[in-house]
Structure 1
């Protein structure tokens, strides 16, 4: 066989093979009696050319220590042909260690594009062979790691990485490195499909070099917040550029970033779900932190507070976003604050209220608290994706003095802040996570201002929705039905209040769940208070089919029986007619041996059909996962916990008027109730919160949940209502909603969570539309 899976390496690998490092390969290399050993880092799909003719491409990376290798690329393409390619596709997995022999060294046509070795390995015919050491065995058995090199002792099963000091880098090496960031640019889109980010790093050797990262995904780029952060780069390639060594990302590149402040938490910033970080790595980061703190030559951060900004300054601003608005295709307005008052008067940028997302209320002595930032050109895409309330760091912001709304004769300009286009000097925007150490001082400052009881102007900034309380009543899409005399309060105040408490709020709907509204229909047991999904059509249909297979042929126990032909000539549907109700449309019928579709069809025009099955010459209900009563598209379900299903008697006593409750009592079933359950994300400019629409949902929509479960038109009516509240596509033209909220606490796993629920609220016009 051309591929050998190695179980006993020393016996399997021919002793005459001589290992050649991948960087040493060239087109004139002698290949007879040589082999190459490496790890499979990329395996492409098998390509079938014609019958029994295949080709497969894979990438292997040199297995030896990078520092002991000669200069040159350590990763190379290997092209396999014929049966060897087919067997490789079945046998070898990414991560396996392979030894390749019997190859031909050719020129790689993709070397310029993929940055790999300028040659490739071509394997075909009887001379080619591959020895495979599966990754599962190499990780657990030291005896199968290599027969061509000394067997290392296994200190741990976790992977280990070798890191190279920046002074030891040579062109062509693919290495792992650590460094302290001295300069960086946020990722920007290239002319192709990739994003590109650049940074400069240094280490204790005092060598400074640039790094360029290309990736289609923004999350794969370094999450650098400030100069002094520490990065760990895996699988970067050293190459000469403009007379000096620079690093470029290669296949398999990954990066982890750490805060560079001495004593800060060792929290990695990475998009990878799993990565290796040992005590040795921790010590490396700590040593770099301590070294960087002692280096006065390292560039300092250019951050500044609004209170210290002067005209013509360029600075980095750490702030919170209050509101944003699209000015035109090349400019987006961001309104931000950092808790300090600017010493210079600030320019007021006029925006139409409907175009602004977030809070605009600034009054009484707070005119210099909120800064207007205009983001231009390539920064517009990032700016439009920001959410009010998020924390930002804006790099290389320019303070410009303008006379836009300066009083005549004052001689004083007003400051505006411009984030110019391009990425020069690291210009850009970064969203900071709320737990970032860099935000703790900012958050304390903002919180102290919010909690100042003597500062009524700041309450308006954070607690009053823009123009919402004074809106034209015709633009309010809901109305309150309660007798509360509560005043309207902003959501920010609701979130600060201690539950339980009631509120009147005016807010807009940002989003809702579930988006597929038929999933908002639930089944609720008022006795045990369980809540469950409505069984889907396919599941119920399968349960009916299973009942068909268990149906008995004898039914003499029933006095009133009809046999109807089904679509299957070998099967009969039995209708049992006990003395329930009057004959005709009020007749209750037990049906056995029918499919779900047949029961629904037969139930049209009847009081209802009860699906049953035979057991010991008696009839009983099907599994309670199926409906206990069907009337056309209307279906009633029973609670498995609370029901005590009875045997059905052939001649029951006469009963009074039939209704759902009496039928359920006769069957020994505790009926489940149809209810709506939606989670609404509300916002009003002061903040946002999630509120449940549940117990009062039927009155909110003016649609009974049981009717909506059986009536598609009513479901469409609810969908139209929600689309009006939260238009598809994220339209800014959303109506305001007057809502009555209640706060309460729920204890789960020993922790208490504050929740909010909507009560005593109806949709305007819903009552009329439900009668159409």
Structure 2
């Protein structure tokens, strides 16, 4: 059987080094340090392709076989071109390695794949009679023994008891904390390249809500430097958003610039994965994850016990809370017409963003992250001039949007409160500490509470959608 290679040169079985004597089981490689060997294993984990400290590209595979499942064996692969690195497509796929050097470093034994003399081939891990590889580096031939090993591994794998890489660092999105590193089991919904930042972003979801964050700064900054609505430089199109879940945080996970080819070398979109060593970061009151050179990915089966547990928790959450966030609501601040009007439905901000029509009103549980203008005297003076307009930055666990209060809805929202009482209400709505002055020129921290409001949408003549707060009042 021959596999077409993605590189040049020869690495066929007929020209192997004499030091390679058949296939070495993982458990026996410790006896072959500083020798070249041939190996076959199931790929259970891999690092994302990145540049090495030199001119090469590097990726690390974690493999197992019937002889050893723990600890998983590391294979460090170095190639001249990123497209020559192995691209694992599915959970339980197999790798055949020829002429890899066994090394010992800091007491641990691993294999090193040389760009000069090693070769590999990747095979579908499903139990079938197909022995053709889907990727190979250099011309690649299988011996009869290697063919039998592939068949045996395919037969063995379904009954193998391999965990999902459990560790003390595994957390849910709802339990992340800033400036820490964690492992995350999640579904990868989308990947896109942020041209402005020059890096790739993965959009991942596990069904839970990220913790509420506070905001630092000045309210007056909203006029000239408004809060961003998303971590990425440009908003995703509605077609992409329509494929996202309507409940639960879609966490943006940014790859650093060493992973410049992530989008071309990653086949995890649409699949459940475990991402190891993700950094928890915050940008303008929004969570995001950060990949680094030590981050790794484990493709998971849909029936993996840890995936089944995530799905179960999400179903329980939906049955118990519906579209409500996991976090508590401050019912003392706003009141809506939600229970009195037939055309208002309860939803999340992601429901609104992905909704194609503009003839429905949604009642949402949100936080008011910013208001412009925010001072009572500005509001009253604009009302005297007949300029009834205010922009609110609203956020829930699924998204952040701008929504406007206009005309009658603006007047009714504040219910004719006098300036001194309006200041008090505004502080509560924005989560400003009582002792702080709204117009203070110093930075302060605020914690906006969750409140209910109704939101309508309307498209303009150019097809752009605008959002408006309606049927909502401050108590």
- Work out which structure has the larger RCO, using CA pairs closer than 8 Å and 6 or more positions apart in sequence: 2
TM-score over 0.5 for the pair: no
TM-score by length of 2: 0.45
Larger Rg: 1
TM-score by length of 1: 0.30
